[in-house]
Structure 1
Amino acid sequence: MNCLGMQIRTMLTANSIWQFWLLALNRLRCAVTVNPQTLGVCGCRLVMSKCPLLHVLLASVSCSSALSCAQANADETNPTDVRALLIEYCYDCHSGENAEANLALDQLKPDAFDGATTRENAFDSLRDEETFAIWQRIYDRVEKREMPPEDYEALRPDDYQRFTNTLHQSLSEVHFAEKQTTLRRLNRREYTNTLNDLFGTNLNLAGNLPADGRKHEFDTVGSALAVSMSQLELYLESIRTVIDAAKVKSIAPPEVKVLSCSYATTREGEKFIGDVWKLLDDGSVVFFRSGGYPSGMLRSASASTEGFYDIEVTGYAYQSTSPITFAIGATTFQRGLERPTFGYYSFAPGPPQTHKLRVWLPHRYMLEITPWGIRDKKYELKDGGIATYTGPGLAIKEVKLTGPITDEFPSRGHKLLFDGLDRQEVLPAQKNQREKSWYVPKFQINNTDPREDILPAITRVASAAFRRPVSSADCGDYLRLYREQLAAGDDVEQAYLTAVAAIFCSPEFLFLTELGSENSNSRLLGDFDLASRLAYMLTRTAPDEQLLAAAAAGRLTGVHGELRSQAERLLGPSADDRFIVDFCDSWLNLREIDFTNPDKNLYPEFDAYLQFSMLAETRQFVRTLIADNLPIKNVVKSDFAMLNNRLAVHYGIDGVESPDIRRFLLPSTSVRGGLLSQGSILKVSANGTNTSPVVRGVFVTERILGQYAPPPPPGVNGVEPDIRGASTLRQLLEKHRDSDSCSNCHAQIDPPGFALEAFNPIGGWRDRYRSLGSGDKVNLEIQGRKVRYRLGLEVDASGNLPGGSTFAGYAEFRDLLAKQQDALAKSLISKLLTFGTGREMGFSDRPEIDKLANQAGQLGYGVRDIILLVIDSQLFRAK
């Protein structure tokens, strides 16, 4: 470990930095909850009045008007009516020890509605999260007239109004009072992006940090993002690594080397040419097999040091009438390390072609080229058959590796740290040492006046870290730490960088503080807080210069349309993919795409290229929805699909040869189009062996429609599929649904799941289930091997939706779902708000979400319009 790292580890520990946390949190007017078991911060909330009435008075206009309307209606109601109405309409089924669905209403205390206590104390039971959820569920079922059931007496109109108005008013007040902002910590990806962007590095910091907590699918919700003492140690280690990578270690930029490599001159070439590889007269080496041994590792194309490299691969399709696809990736001899695939490309028959790309390569990683879709089916290459083999192959003529590429020297991070400081090389005692290849220069800061020299540098770094202007007075604690380090024996650079490390371990960096406007009683965010919220939503990193300039001028809050204008800029053609990737990873659970490995016996056609293409398909599809502002109905039904050659083969679509994801129009009879028929969605909602209508049904209702069912009652077991093929999931679920405690929820969940039974666990269409037991044999070879699976029972993808609509299969279900644009819009609005604000949307947010959905409808439900409406909303602008 270098001197800087040792100094930070020994002199600046998680315990010593805790004092900085307490001082910073005091400045931020925060109350801290400390978990004594982990000695960490479990939650930080802005300190506001405990009086619920004050929170109601501070409501936004739309929420206040909704509460006022509910209050006006509730004032006409005798509060004791709630208990009386429960007794009259609900207690027959929902009371006592054997209450249906385990919901015993006689065990609940409707103290928020009975008028027996003061208004403030009346809400005590509703402040319990579980109790609130029960009453909210009761309200939703009654408001939608799902309860009482059809075969029971319905509520009289006046009873319905009294019951729903009273519950709505109380639930709204309690939720609004309790939804005070939890300070949101940067999650792992935001933390990594921010440091890499500030310092100009490309480090994988996220892999060294603990997994982030999640709520309602998202890892951006503040209440789920804790900080422990051990995590502070990891933050210290991370910033040490970043500083070490960013600061200049040489007088000149690293030498750019150009390596021109050929498989013919490698150790592998000497061994395999004439056996399974073929050397052509032009020096090209031909691969005839996709994957397996030997691999396409090119040990001579190795990164001399970590950094960005330009890659050029030249070749062509050999003995083929169509293009041949291949992957370009990197590999290493070290076990347990990631082996990235940079992309898939193709060479056509004819003269040599060249593909160029720029990638980040870790030290000593080697390039690897892997063909796809070709195979020596009859093993004709054995026993010297390479000379006469006529099958298709991938000819690689040359691989050129150039780097490391340095676009900026000194680096952005070095300038952030040392601009304005006199940092010079310490010349060695023997000057000729500088000419040696092993020589590593040493540097020192020659400034001596802490207040005149070091304080401005600390202030500059703190302003960048805290995402707002910071005064010298605000940096007194860090200057004091610098002086303490000097007194302890550090040199100027060591002491200064220790103070920098403390800055990047402070809550003002690790959290989006969101103090609000100058009026401390206002829920509205100030300009810099709003800039950070917008930036971390759409770019997943700190605000850029344009956004900070708008915040400094007060335009984000003071100029009508400025926030929307900035959002449009960040969503423009040059927008980063981070928003698409992170939002889809959470919303659609794409982060779990590789959590399961499909059974090779049941799904032998699955391969790495297919999974790579699945992710690209969904991300490009969502990107297209935004870029073209397509109506929200395209989420479930579109007349186009984003395809490449691998997906086209998988989906049974002809005419697609390129590995690039492109937009293709679909025939009206196609079952593809929309998210639900995409391989990524169908894979993450299955377990690799079989599918579950319940799991897929929950995916559709929660992630697409935004409808959340309560957890199953205690003691209710799930339904295990029969992979022998003797029973379908539908048959097993029918028995499960006979229980009264299960039937209501499954009536909502199962129909979408039944519709998606038309797709297997890797997204292929099916009319019959595959099994490894009973069933008809299949005469099919994949990659030269006969399949082992059999075709069993027929798939039944029909169902009945709540409300009476029926569908005979997936296509009809998709048509019914596409008509629910308002529900689709409300769901997406809620997801975007949760992702962007770091707070779960709740009961008192419903009026604003309804208003936004109505505005989106007037604009045609365009997905881009929905995003912009969300960003311009009061919910996004407020804590």
Structure 2
Amino acid sequence: MFRTARLPSAFILDSFMNLFDRILSWCIVGALGFGTALPAFADEGLIKMHCGKCHSGAEPKGDFSVHDLGTAPAQESIDLWTASLDLVKAGEMPPAKKSQLTTSGRHKLVEFLSDKVQSYAAQSQHSHEIAPRRINNREFKNSVRDALLIEDVGTHQPTDNLIGDSLYEGFDTHGETLGFSNFHLEQYIDSLRKIVDATILDGQQPESKHYEIDSRQIRSAHTSQNLKRPERRGKREGFDFLDPKELAYFEDFPVVPTTGWYKISIRCTGLDRGYYEAEKTGIYDDDPIQLTVVMGNRERTFDLPDNNIVELELTEWLAAGTRLRFRYPTDGLTLRGNGNFKFQNAIAGEYIKEHDPELYQQVADSIVNKPGRRVLRPESWHHWVDFWRGPRPRIYSASVEGPLFDSWPPARQVALLGKNPSVEDAASILEPIAERAWRREVREGELEPVVQLVQSKKQSLGDVAAFKEGIIAILASPPFLLLNTDDLTPQEEFAAKFSNFLQSTIPDRELREAVEAGDFESFEGVYEEVQRRLESAECDPFLKTFPYAWLKLNDINFMAPDPDRYPHYHRKKVSDDMINEALTFFRYAVEEDLPVTEFISADYSFINADLAVVYGIDDAPQDSKLRKYTFTDGRRGGFLGMGAFHTVTADSLGTSPIHRAIYVMENFLAIHPSPPPADVLIEEPDIRSARTIREVLEAHRSDKTCASCHQSIDPFGWAFENFDPVGSWRDAYDDPTLEPVSKRQRQKRPKPEGIPVDASASFLNRAEYRDIVGFRQLMQSKANSDRFIRCFVTKLLTYANGEEPDDYTEIEKIVAKSAEHDYHMIATIAAVIDSPLFRETSR
């Protein structure tokens, strides 16, 4: 399978320099008498100068045998050819330190390698077929929703039993990773039964009830294991949300008794926003107080007005068994002590001490310490719980009414089955459901087994319940659960892939009919449809899930920064802000149709007050809203300056230029360095005297087997050493020779000057940088911009097809089509969809 600049595992990686030298030395070996002569493709003297001395004889450098290449690309060597072409085009091979290849000489080499690769592609009758795969859990929920014409699969967590999807390079669409077993099928059926039961109702219309909830009937659910402690109740004046970790519920309505529509009304307000200093509470004065209504796995969040009572109204289809809960969504009130809310109460005492010293003294004088117990000082949080006036929502009263129905059966059920469904009409009733679910027209006689199943269940279950069994059978069948199958026509498959790519669901009838009519047979037709769907906000699943997978944001807290050293990161949930920053940037670039290179060339990003603390920005608005911010120091902007990238590639206490280098190479440049060979013994040097990561790696590179590899990898990572594990700028490392001390001792000890960070490096082609500013400039070179665009195309195809593309020539055609449109986002996405790599994939 093609991967740019990846060496086959059969070879020992001796750096990209050796990779290219191996190609060149192929032509000289015969002339030097070490093998069969091969046709030369450049000046013989030039070849001797660049490769003859290193890669000839009985022991060629790097243990590379030029005969493994053959005279032209073959299936086993095409990866090596395409890798070499990429490195020569980028100017990285041959290494400038070991040769002075002229510009004209490089052009000849590029032309030769490109001709050979294209000739191989033309003669190999390359197949674009990919294997069928199981739909992932995300696609399953969306597709069931649209097949049944409902708003979502339900509020009763009907899919929580499904096995979590494994990821491949961050993607949840990888075919080989998405396994399928009998257990998977059993769990699918279990989930489908729960969904269908909450969608199709049978029997008599349930009686509606009205619940009036007084504030004293609202309870705060337990957050500790001490269930004997009584739950906190609301007071006559209202129920206040104090601890953000606590969920509140209505005493008389803990769960939804019967499936149906429910009308929920809540009288509430926001209190005391800005009463205490934001630096103490961690809640910004410009952030509204919010209230979230939690209905199983569906949530609705509302901004509350300050000190003015508002009545929130919701009308929701709720499944029986759904727990109705309420919470205060905030990342504040966790800055004191160990982050437990109880320590925030001390702020009340501090405020009173400053603004009402008489009251403070009264409370202090009333403190009675019991013998044998810890002495409680006046500033302790224990004494100020009743005085707390921090920002919080308050519910005065509420009402719930339901289940409500405008008609019986419900209109949503009539749209699916009709008003009085009869098993005698099973074929006509089930056919549109199967057509949506199977992403195609139903073939003649194909529904007969399902119809027979429904009719056989009538006597024991009745008509409506029998139809449930038929629907479950349709949705548990291979045509629904599998993608890329050969039971679709080319037009049906294109519509299915198009919809799944942009919306992670089944195609609607309009899309299938447009494809059948030939509307998307050209690039222009695809472009117009992608643009239309983006403008109508139909591509949200793509705009969220693709960048999340591509940038591996799922790993952001795999080795989370140390909470003692980076409390702000944890207390303010900055990882959520970092993820949203990346997703917001991606959405902005696509919706604004910017060039693909904007991801690495931009001098701006989208930050809020919490990210501003991490990034050292002092002029950002003091709230939690992400806004476009332009950086002026050349250090940040785009993906390379984001804390998400810096944190994903860091450890709990330190950073690794190797991790960051490999992340940049693989995710931004499509360069895949192979790991060290398992059969080579590498003796690790003594690094006990090393004080910095650079000293550690220099000791490691003293082994010549390691050095050649690191010469190619390390320069892609050193530039980021000024960014610590949370992405904050640092000019110096902490001194690792200092003995560990407690947090209190660390606060008393003067901060050491540390060891200066050296973020400079040079590449094999003599390109060099002093810091991140210089590296960012190098990343915007023509060669690296081309690599980035090619990598973006490759990632899009991997997400769409569930496999990494293996056709270098077709990828180059996509890049060329993108170039015709100045590499703008919509044109690039459309070029991917219009490519044979996307269109021609069924077996």
- Normalising by the smaller structure, the TM-score range is 0.7 to 0.9
**What's the TM-score once normalised by structure 2's chain length?**
0.73
Query: How far does residue 697 in structure 1 lie from its aligned partner after superposition?
Result: 1.1
Query: How far does residue 772 in structure 1 lie from its aligned partner after superposition?
Result: 7.4
Q: Is the contact made by 1:297 and 1:331 (CA closer than 8 Å) also made in structure 2?
A: no
Give the whole-Å Cα distance in 2 for the aligned partners of 1:642 and 1:299: 39
Q: Is the contact made by 2:89 and 2:110 (CA closer than 8 Å) also made in structure 1?
A: no
Structure 2 counterpart of 1:691? 655
Structure 2 counterpart of 1:574? 537
Structure 1 counterpart of 2:275? 319
Asked if residue 605 in structure 1 is aligned to residue 568 in structure 2, the reply is: yes
CA pair 726-330 structure 1, distance change in 2 beyond 3 A: farther
Give the whole-Å Cα distance in 1 for the aligned partners of 2:733 and 2:170: 30
Structure 2 counterpart of 1:51? none
Q: 1:243 aligns with which of 196, 215, 232?
A: 196
Give the whole-Å Cα distance in 2 for the aligned partners of 1:780 and 1:339: 42
Give the whole-Å Cα distance in 1 for the aligned partners of 2:589 and 2:668: 15
Q: 2:432 aligns with which of 460, 478, 490?
A: 460
Asked if residue 856 in structure 1 is aligned to residue 818 in structure 2, the reply is: yes
Query: How far does residue 194 in structure 1 lie from its aligned partner after superposition?
Result: 0.7
Give the whole-Å Cα distance in 2 for the aligned partners of 1:719 and 1:398: 70
CA pair 397-185 structure 1, distance change in 2 beyond 3 A: closer
Give the whole-Å Cα distance in 2 for the aligned partners of 1:471 and 1:717: 61
Give the whole-Å Cα distance in 1 for the aligned partners of 2:602 and 2:744: 32
CA pair 487-620 structure 1, distance change in 2 beyond 3 A: closer
Aligned to 1:555, what secondary structure does the other structure show? coil
Structure 2 counterpart of 1:871? 833
CA pair 194-97 structure 1, distance change in 2 beyond 3 A: farther
Structure 1 counterpart of 2:417? 418
User: Which deviations, in whole Å up to 9, do the C-alpha atoms of 1:75-129 show, x marking residues without a partner?
Assistant: xxx99765989998768656899765564545x373866xxxxxxxxx5xx26xx
Q: Number of aligned pairs?
A: 733
Asked if residue 700 in structure 1 is aligned to residue 664 in structure 2, the reply is: yes
Give the whole-Å Cα distance in 2 for the aligned partners of 1:719 and 1:598: 31
More RCO (CA 8 Å, sep 6+): 2
Structure 2 counterpart of 1:43? none
Structure 1 counterpart of 2:19? none
Give the whole-Å Cα distance in 2 for the aligned partners of 1:849 and 1:184: 23
Query: How far does residue 791 in structure 1 lie from its aligned partner after superposition?
Result: 6.8
Give the whole-Å Cα distance in 2 for the aligned partners of 1:646 and 1:205: 35
Amino acid at match of 1:231: H
Tell which deviates more after alignment, 191-200 or 255-264.
Answer: 255-264
Tell which deviates more after alignment, 790-799 or 625-634.
Answer: 790-799
Q: Is the contact made by 1:263 and 1:285 (CA closer than 8 Å) also made in structure 2?
A: no
Structure 2 counterpart of 1:68? none
CA pair 549-260 structure 1, distance change in 2 beyond 3 A: farther
CA pair 678-555 structure 1, distance change in 2 beyond 3 A: same
Query: How far does residue 868 in structure 1 lie from its aligned partner after superposition?
Result: 2.9
Query: How far does residue 704 in structure 1 lie from its aligned partner after superposition?
Result: 1.6
Structure 2 counterpart of 1:234? 187
Query: How far does residue 694 in structure 1 lie from its aligned partner after superposition?
Result: 1.1
Tell which deviates more after alignment, 209-218 or 822-831.
Answer: 209-218
CA pair 552-697 structure 1, distance change in 2 beyond 3 A: same
Give the whole-Å Cα distance in 2 for the aligned partners of 1:793 and 1:636: 29
Asked if residue 640 in structure 1 is aligned to residue 640 in structure 2, the reply is: no
User: Which deviations, in whole Å up to 9, do the C-alpha atoms of 1:717-764 show, x marking residues without a partner?
Assistant: 999999999622222122333444444443343223212222222222
**1:90-101 maps to which residues of 2 (within 5 A)?**
93=54, 101=62
Give the whole-Å Cα distance in 1 for the aligned partners of 2:832 and 2:303: 41
CA pair 393-806 structure 1, distance change in 2 beyond 3 A: same
Give the whole-Å Cα distance in 2 for the aligned partners of 1:359 and 1:721: 65
CA pair 633-868 structure 1, distance change in 2 beyond 3 A: same
Structure 2 counterpart of 1:746? 710
Amino acid at match of 1:662: L
User: Which deviations, in whole Å up to 9, do the C-alpha atoms of 1:302-357 show, x marking residues without a partner?
Assistant: 5536888868652131624734666756789xxxxx999877x8778665678888
Give the whole-Å Cα distance in 1 for the aligned partners of 2:406 and 2:707: 63
Query: How far does residue 193 in structure 1 lie from its aligned partner after superposition?
Result: 1.4
Asked if residue 396 in structure 1 is aligned to residue 345 in structure 2, the reply is: no
**1:200-349 maps to which residues of 2 (within 5 A)?**
200=150, 201-203=152-154, 207-212=160-165, 214-215=167-168, 217-249=170-202, 251-252=204-205, 255=208, 262=215, 266=219, 283=238, 285=240, 287=242, 295=246, 297-298=248-249, 300=251, 302-304=254-256, 314-316=269-271, 317=273, 319-320=275-276, 322-323=285-286
Aligned to 2:717, what secondary structure does the other structure show? helix
Structure 1 segments unaligned to the other structure (5+ residues): 1-73, 114-122, 272-276, 333-337, 424-445, 519-525
**What's the TM-score once normalised by structure 1's chain length?**
0.70
Q: Is the contact made by 1:264 and 1:285 (CA closer than 8 Å) also made in structure 2?
A: no
Structure 1 counterpart of 2:370? none
Amino acid at match of 1:319: Y
Tell which deviates more after alignment, 796-805 or 142-151.
Answer: 142-151
Q: Is the contact made by 2:600 and 2:780 (CA closer than 8 Å) also made in structure 1?
A: yes
Give the whole-Å Cα distance in 1 for the aligned partners of 2:403 and 2:787: 49
Query: How far does residue 675 in structure 1 lie from its aligned partner after superposition?
Result: 1.7
Structure 1 counterpart of 2:355? none
Aligned CA RMSD, in angstroms, stands at 5.0
Asked if residue 804 in structure 1 is aligned to residue 766 in structure 2, the reply is: yes
Give the whole-Å Cα distance in 1 for the aligned partners of 2:684 and 2:205: 64
Structure 1 counterpart of 2:796? 832
Give the whole-Å Cα distance in 2 for the aligned partners of 1:685 and 1:171: 38
Asked if residue 474 in structure 1 is aligned to residue 446 in structure 2, the reply is: yes
Query: How far does residue 663 in structure 1 lie from its aligned partner after superposition?
Result: 2.3
Amino acid at match of 2:558: F
Asked if residue 654 in structure 1 is aligned to residue 618 in structure 2, the reply is: yes
Aligned to 2:568, what secondary structure does the other structure show? coil
Amino acid at match of 1:235: Y
Structure 2 segments unaligned to the other structure (5+ residues): 1-26, 227-231, 278-284, 334-343, 351-377
CA pair 802-330 structure 1, distance change in 2 beyond 3 A: farther
User: Which deviations, in whole Å up to 9, do the C-alpha atoms of 1:684-716 show, x marking residues without a partner?
Assistant: 222333221111111111112222222332267
Give the whole-Å Cα distance in 2 for the aligned partners of 1:323 and 1:742: 53
User: Which deviations, in whole Å up to 9, do the C-alpha atoms of 1:607-641 show, x marking residues without a partner?
Assistant: 26322222222111111111112233331243432
User: Which deviations, in whole Å up to 9, do the C-alpha atoms of 1:465-485 show, x marking residues without a partner?
Assistant: 1111214433244445557x5
Give the whole-Å Cα distance in 1 for the aligned partners of 2:525 and 2:588: 25
CA pair 392-264 structure 1, distance change in 2 beyond 3 A: farther
Tell which deviates more after alignment, 685-694 or 398-407.
Answer: 398-407
Asked if residue 182 in structure 1 is aligned to residue 182 in structure 2, the reply is: no
Give the whole-Å Cα distance in 1 for the aligned partners of 2:460 and 2:701: 73
Give the whole-Å Cα distance in 2 for the aligned partners of 1:363 and 1:454: 31
Amino acid at match of 1:878: E
Give the whole-Å Cα distance in 2 for the aligned partners of 1:712 and 1:569: 48
Aligned to 1:529, what secondary structure does the other structure show? helix
Q: Is the contact made by 2:649 and 2:663 (CA closer than 8 Å) also made in structure 1?
A: yes
CA pair 816-140 structure 1, distance change in 2 beyond 3 A: closer
Q: 2:483 aligns with which of 503, 512, 529?
A: 512
CA pair 367-219 structure 1, distance change in 2 beyond 3 A: same
Query: How far does residue 254 in structure 1 lie from its aligned partner after superposition?
Result: 8.2
Q: Is the contact made by 1:682 and 1:763 (CA closer than 8 Å) also made in structure 2?
A: yes
Query: How far does residue 828 in structure 1 lie from its aligned partner after superposition?
Result: 1.4
Structure 2 counterpart of 1:438? none
Give the whole-Å Cα distance in 1 for the aligned partners of 2:458 and 2:396: 58
Q: Is the contact made by 1:222 and 1:838 (CA closer than 8 Å) also made in structure 2?
A: yes
Amino acid at match of 1:314: T
Q: 1:565 aligns with which of 528, 534, 545?
A: 528
Q: Is the contact made by 1:95 and 1:103 (CA closer than 8 Å) also made in structure 2?
A: no
**1:46-85 maps to which residues of 2 (within 5 A)?**
82=38
CA pair 172-629 structure 1, distance change in 2 beyond 3 A: same
Structure 1 counterpart of 2:338? none
Amino acid at match of 1:513: N
User: Which deviations, in whole Å up to 9, do the C-alpha atoms of 1:1-37 show, x marking residues without a partner?
Assistant: xxxxxxxxxxxxxxxxxxxxxxxxxxxxxxxxxxxxx
Query: How far does residue 380 in structure 1 lie from its aligned partner after superposition?
Result: 3.7
Tell which deviates more after alignment, 193-202 or 498-507.
Answer: 498-507
CA pair 575-135 structure 1, distance change in 2 beyond 3 A: same
Q: Identity, % of aligned pairs?
A: 25
Q: Is the contact made by 1:309 and 1:360 (CA closer than 8 Å) also made in structure 2?
A: no
Amino acid at match of 1:304: V
